[in-house]
Amino acid sequence: MPDGYGIAAEAEGFVSWDWVEQQLVASRSYWVCTTREDGRPHAMPVWGLWLADRLMFSTDPTSLKACNFSRRPDLVVHLESGDDVVVLEGRVKGLSPDLVAAFCDAYDAKYHYRPQPDSEAHGLYEMAPERCLAWRETDFPTSATRFRRTVSS
């Protein structure tokens, strides 16, 4: 982060990956940020879940966000809180077929609604983050942490 934020290289108190995952699991909504064809940003909340080291969600494949990431799969996702912050960056793709049943089961348990993946209205997607920024407002700047993750296909 820029020097003006006051984060020293020897700072202590960084957040752990376990803390990040707790926030991802507990979140009800995830803000998905895409890029429109003309370059303008587009942000929309989706229901989803953190499972198998990736964010999974469903959206209508004809929605603007799905059309945006079909052209440009770069995605930024952030949680609802500006106090316990988690921002993910990566590339979105269709949900791996071997994860569909687990996703539907976990989604149903979380939201009491079961996606119907065979329906045209339910495109299933995943994003394994390549980068993550996270911090707690209460102890920023010492909690500000950047993670870089190796993405497996």
Q: What distance in Å separates the CA atoms of residue 47 and residue 79, rounded to the nearest whole number?
A: 11
* 3-143 CATH pick, 2.30.110.10, 2.60.40.10, 1.25.40.10, 3.40.50.10860: 2.30.110.10
Return the CA Rg of the chain.
Answer: 16
pLDDT digits (tens, 9 = 90+) for 103-122: 999 999 999 999 987 766 67
Q: Is the pLDDT of residue 123 over 50?
A: yes
pLDDT band at 8 (very low <50, low <70, confident <90, very high): low
pTM: 0.86
Domain coordinates in residue numbering, the chain: 3-143
pLDDT band at 143 (very low <50, low <70, confident <90, very high): confident
User: Which residue's structure tokens are 């820029």?
Assistant: 2
